[in-house]
Amino acid sequence: MNKQMKEVSIEEIVETFDRRYYRKKMTNLCISFLIVLLGVTSLCYGLSLESTPTIFRFMTVDGTIFTTLGAIAFIGVNLVEILNHTELTNMFVYYIRLSAAVAESVILIVVMTSRLPFFSEHLQLANRYDTFAMHLLIPLLGISSFLINDSPIGKLTPKQRWNGTWFVTFYAVVILSLIVTKALPAHLIPYFFVDIWQTPWHMIAFAFFFVYGITYLMSWRLSEWNRKLSWLWFRNIAGKKPGDSGR
């Protein structure tokens, strides 16, 4: 009798796991499709108001492109997982998603900081569709999607955490290429530490080391939070523990 009850219990656990797993993957797909939709439409809207390549001088725009590409890759991974009924751990895609989450965290921190009272001019989020999507919607979706939905690859080593800084390198290549080729006029350079014509080299070096240091720390923390929060989907899958209220 006990053996029969145990077998039924295991079947129920497996069925519950499969149901939550499928729901998790479908949620991933929906969020990723929404990020791609917001990313493409906001970029097209921005391009209709500002000529290329000057629009790519902003970290927010490049971050949107990077996050959108990561979402497209994630859609492909999720589709393979759903169709093949298997978990596909792709290190390259994970690192793109981690780096995108780091980039969107930086953007969100800058946005929130700009709202502080000691800033005379606040970043206006509601005056343009692309501004609202790139500075608020996409960062919130990208960060929350990575933290809860991405399958962890384990505890990252100190060396592996540097993979979360890919976007910094991506942005550095874009902005420095625009500046060196003179495709971006000097008066349109958005950040002083990338103005290689006016800013002393020691200040540029310090700024880049500082930015890489901050993004490295964020890569570490986000990967740890992802490792812990992603399992919320499967909490209490074997039944509630004694004294667990279910909150």
244 domain-assigned: no
25 domain-assigned: yes
Q: Where are the alpha helices (DSSP H) in the chain?
A: 2-49, 59-84, 91-113, 129-132, 138-149, 166-180, 201-229
CB contact burial 22-49 (16+ within 10 A = b; e otherwise): eebbeebbebbeebbebbeebbeebeee
Host domain of residue 105: 2-115+122-233
Task: Scan for tokens 């942005």, then name that residue.
Answer: 171
| Per-residue pLDDT tens digits for 124-138 | 677 889 889 998 999
96 versus 5: the higher-pLDDT residue is 96
pLDDT value of residue 90: 76
Instruction: Using a pLDDT cut of 90, give the percent of the chain over it.
Output: 32
246 domain-assigned: no
240 domain-assigned: no
Q: Are 162 and 216 in contact (CB under 8 A)?
A: yes
pLDDT value of residue 119: 61
Q: What does pTM read for this prediction?
A: 0.81
Q: Which two tokens stand for residue 123?
A: 């970043």
247 domain-assigned: no
Q: Which two tokens stand for residue 48?
A: 């209709």
> pLDDT category, 121, cuts 50, 70, 90?
low
pLDDT value of residue 122: 61
Averaged pLDDT, 99-119: 80
Query: How many structural domains is the chain composed of?
Result: 1
**CA distance readout (Å), 141 to 5, 95, 196:** 42, 17, 34
| Per-residue pLDDT tens digits for 39-88 | 999 999 998 888 777 888 888 899 999 999 989 988 988 888 888 877 77
217 domain-assigned: yes
> pLDDT category, 242, cuts 50, 70, 90?
very low
241 domain-assigned: no
Averaged pLDDT, 19-30: 86
pLDDT value of residue 230: 79
